[in-house]
Amino acid sequence: MNGKYRSQNWFGKTGKDGFIYRAWMKNQGIPTHEFDGRPVIGICNTWSELTPCNAHFRELAESVKHGVYEAGGFPVEFPVMSLGETLIKPTAMLYRNLASMDVEESIRANPVDGVVLLCGCDKTTPSLVMGACSVNIPTIVVSGGPMLTGKFQGKDIGTSDVWRFNDAVRSGAMDQDQLVMAEASMCRSRGHCAVMGTASTMASMVESLGLSLPHNAAIPAADARRKVLAHLSGIRAVELVRNQVNISDILTKEAFENAIIINAAIGGSTNFIIHLLAIAGRIGVDLSLDDFDRLSRNVPLIANLQPSGKYFMEDLYYAGGIPSVMRELDSFLHKDCITVNGKTIGENFQKEECYNRQVIATVNQPFNELSGVAVIKGNLCENGAVIKPSAASSHLLQHTGKAVVFEDIEDYKARIDDPNLDVDENSILVLKNVGPKGYPGMPEVGNMGIPTKLLAKGVTDMVRISDGRMSGTGFGTVVLHVSPEAALGGNFAVVQNGDLISLDVPGRSITLHVSEEELKERKKRWKPRIKNYDRGYVHLYQTHVEQAHLGADLDFLKGSSGSEVTRDSH
């Protein structure tokens, strides 16, 4: 090795090997001096026209390159698997771990000293961060930014309205033509979902972890300041390499705790739990479901953002963004966690102001005392389940009702609109076999629609329980991530129509009122109801995926293999 960075194991070589590593690069017009040992910065790009939330990323990558050049680095942009939330069937989540493998191997196998991760749509953030953790070189995240707030018939709209529109169409309050008009009104600019859905939650997560520059989460994609942030991130990537700050130096246990506290205060998505657990598993930080409950229990909701509140990400940026939220949380946070700009998180938020108290409240006068995610336990979910209290109906947080059971998604679709379905507003809807192995891939169907005949009566929320996930844009009294999932044959697998279930969110419990003997009997008769795939990635996934309470990563992907590659290609 001639120079001090890992890229010199390629570009710094003499003879045949160095020739091979440099010569083909030169067909892109790269002059010889770029290979002189300066930091090589990979720009890991999830651009794709099939991931519309990330469709502007080639332009964003150009801004990163300006910054890298300015700081004396050599930028190289490369594509990785991109996961578009809205198009990929059966669910983008099935491929999160596959994309993370692509990212990990692409970074390790190539001559890059540091990496800028361009993330946007929901799964593109965790998959890239997971992959980068398993290599552990200097890493900085640039998110694509949220869309501008949607405008429809005089109202502000965003992705959470999809669920309202769905109910309005089913109850006859809205027709198909209006629905089509709403499409373009909602998605009227570049960027990802404009509510505090999973994409915004993930962008806030990386900012809270210290993996991005301040304000990364909320600057709209269409705002020129998004390009400035990308440019500055390019500069910082070079400096991180020069200072040899690896991603593991940023991702301490305290950084994870900060992310959990901030996620609670902003009403972030329940998907946050699953992705943060998976990231912790890669970087080797000990984190469990109980940490989420413990750390978010006393944190109030101070961001008034849909789906828990009223406003959109654009409003959050103008009100002061995540740094302003952090400043309100001063007494909760570990302030000396180091971030990618070289300063501590406390130094970063110290001088931030709040410019709109309708959007960011104080801790003393919050929008809701309830926030975050409650982890609930009981005989229905031996390894836990989660609920987002701020997005639930207060009158249902303690509720007992009779189960109306759907054995799988096809069963649900076949019967939910049946006028003879034996259900009322006190019933509890149970949906099985939508977990990691069962679906497979754990889709966002947990906030299943209310039975049509109850919608007609004006019912807008019911207790719903499943082993699936919910879109970060979704809301309702929805118990998710039941573990073990139905496909594994635990108690959840043998719930029957008419069983009494008690949900007690303040008491953090969920109880299936069926005797142990009866449950044992039912398990003897139980047969799995899932399709097993015998080839390809889905086979690998079904064989190795872990349960939701562990982050649903593949068991063999946990941890890191480092960045070293000792053998040459020719």
- Where on the chain is the footprint of Mg ion (CB under 5 A)? 85, 122, 198, 471
Report, in Å, the least distance between residue 109 CB and ligand FES.
28
Question: What are residue 117's phi and psi, to 5 degrees?
Answer: -95, 120
Contacted entry of ligand FES, Mg ion, none for residue 53, CB cut-off 5 to 8 Å set by kind: ligand FES
Radius of gyration of the chain (CA): 24
Positions in the binding site for ligand FES (CB under 6 A)? 53, 85-86, 121-122, 159, 192-193, 197, 199
Count other C-beta atoms under 10 Å from residue 168's C-beta: 17
Pick the closer one to ligand FES by CB: 246 or 271.
Answer: 271
Per the CB < 8 A criterion, the answer to whether 465 and 429 are in contact is: yes
Report, in Å, the least distance between residue 489 CB and ligand FES.
33
Contacted entry of ligand FES, Mg ion, none for residue 199, CB cut-off 5 to 8 Å set by kind: ligand FES
Report, in Å, the least distance between residue 82 CB and Mg ion.
15
Please give the full DSSP string across 474-532, using - where no structure is assigned. Answer: --SSEEB--SS-GGGTSGGGG--TT-EEEEETTTTEEEE---HHHHHHHHHH-----PP
Report, in Å, the least distance between residue 123 CB and ligand FES.
9
Contacted entry of Mg ion, ligand FES, none for residue 86, CB cut-off 5 to 8 Å set by kind: ligand FES
Pick the closer one to ligand FES by CB: 121 or 232.
Answer: 121
Report, in Å, the least distance between residue 473 CB and Mg ion.
7
Pick the closer one to Mg ion by CB: 53 or 381.
Answer: 53
Pick the closer one to ligand FES by CB: 71 or 195.
Answer: 195
Residue 39 has what DSSP assignment? P
508 burial via Cβ count (<10 Å: 0-12, 13-18, 19+): middle
Pick the closer one to Mg ion by CB: 122 or 293.
Answer: 122
Distance CA 322, CA 316 (A): 8
Please give the full DSSP string across 215-234, using - where no structure is assigned. Answer: TTTTS-TTSHHHHHHHHHHH
Residue 38 has what DSSP assignment? P
Per the CB < 8 A criterion, the answer to whether 404 and 464 are in contact is: no
Contacted entry of Mg ion, ligand FES, none for residue 546, CB cut-off 5 to 8 Å set by kind: none
Cis check: omega of the bond before 307, within 30 degrees of 0? yes
Report, in Å, the least distance between residue 87 CB and ligand FES.
9
Pick the closer one to ligand FES by CB: 82 or 466.
Answer: 82
Count other C-beta atoms under 10 Å from residue 320's C-beta: 22
Place of tokens 């229990």: 297
Please provide the distance, in angstroms rounded to a whole number, between the alpha carbons at the two ends of the chain.
17
Instruction: State both tokens at 434.
Output: 């939508």
Pick the closer one to Mg ion by CB: 134 or 271.
Answer: 271
Report, in Å, the least distance between residue 161 CB and ligand FES.
13
